[in-house]
Amino acid sequence: MYTLHWSPETGSFAPHAALEEAGADYRLVEVDLQGGAHHSEEFLALNPRAQVPVLTLPDGTVLTESAAMMLHIADCHPEAGLFPPVGSVARARAYRWLLFGVLNLYETDCRIVDTHHYSARESDFEGIRAKAREDLDRSWDLIAAAFGEGPYMLGRDFCAVDLCLLMYAWWHPDRGALVARHPVLGGLFDALRRRPAVDAIWERNFRSAQ
């Protein structure tokens, strides 16, 4: 059985959704970020960077990094079709946008939410966040331009990258403006929310959606 250390509204949504999509056997352990549980000795032994998500594999191996989790869950459950076939052009595109997302959306969202990791001086925070918002706009423009006919990133076929994009878009400081600028993202939201696996875990992950 997998164990996912998770928190609502965080990057644990994507591996959580991938586990659901795969029909994998897993259990959840909630980490109270507000209460500082990620700095406990027990959690630091799992992830010295004090961050969720953490995925413990059935053999006890500990994985950090959400992209690695998505790829590994896909590898272990090929029947779930979380990524296109190995060696296909579609899979290469999926890799591209999976990594682009982690490097340019996830990290930039962290500059807005976890700004204290980027400067010790509070007087720097406003400037860091303003630049992050500009960078987000540029990255979303590139992603939207790369969308095919939709509703998913790769076209008609769902892939695990869509789960990551949903999460990053959900975190956007002005989600309404983002979707108005890129209507393809509204189509992606609708398509994903109709998936039983996403629906099953949505409210638990995004309590602010209530």
Ligand X SMILES: N[C@@H](CCC(=O)N[C@@H](CS)C(=O)NCC(=O)O)C(=O)O
Contacts to ligand X by CB under 6 A: 10-11, 33, 38, 50-53, 65-66, 102, 106, 110, 114
Which of 21, 65 has the CB closer to ligand X?
A: 65
The nearest distance, CB 5 to ligand X, in angstroms, is 10
Backbone φ, ψ for residue 112 (5° rounding)? -85, -40
The nearest distance, CB 139 to ligand X, in angstroms, is 15
Which of 84, 101 has the CB closer to ligand X?
A: 101
Q: Give the residue from 189, 168, 179, 160 showing the smallest Cα distance to 111.
A: 168
Q: Which residue is nearest to ligand X (CB)?
A: 51
Which of 35, 196 has the CB closer to ligand X?
A: 35
Bridge partners (DSSP) of residue 29 are 5
The nearest distance, CB 31 to ligand X, in angstroms, is 8
The nearest distance, CB 53 to ligand X, in angstroms, is 6
The separation between CA 140 and the C-alpha centre of its own chain, rounded to angstroms, equals 15
- If residue 181 lies in a helix (H) or strand (E), which one and from where to where? helix 175-181
DSSP state of 78: G
- If residue 26 lies in a helix (H) or strand (E), which one and from where to where? strand 26-30
